[in-house]
Amino acid sequence: MKIANQHGDLLLEAVDSIPKGAKRIEVHNGYVLERGEGVHTHIFPDVQGIEVYEVGGETFVRVTKKTELDHEEHGCQIVKPGIYRKRIERVWDYEATEAKRTID
């Protein structure tokens, strides 16, 4: 797994291609890529240059030009052109002996 960007608990993993059968999702400025706890969100303020696809419960993003990814706590981060799979950081809960999704 090659993590290209980490934005709090949101990870963008670089992949070679969008999987076959993925459906393109219509996106608008202010597109919320991931919701965190409360009102915190990871958003693309300007969606010019991005395409979002979903397949099998996973989200993929094709970025064709440098674009900003914003969050209330983590600020703006530049995402370079490429294809990414959205992942959420997980932590191991030793008491419950299971991996849990982190929420920020």
pLDDT of 56: 94
pLDDT of 94: 41
Mean pLDDT, consecutive 10-residue stretches, the chain (104 aa), reads 56 92 96 74 89 96 93 79 83 46 48
pLDDT of 27: 95
pLDDT of 98: 47
pLDDT of 28: 95
DSSP string of the chain, one letter each residue: --EEEEETTEEEEE-SSPPTTPEEEP--TTEEEEE-STT-EEEES--TTEEEEEETTEEEEEESS-EEEB-TTT--EEE-SEEEEEEE-EEEETTTTEEEE---
pLDDT of 6: 52
Question: Model's pTM, two decimal places?
Answer: 0.76
pLDDT of 51: 97
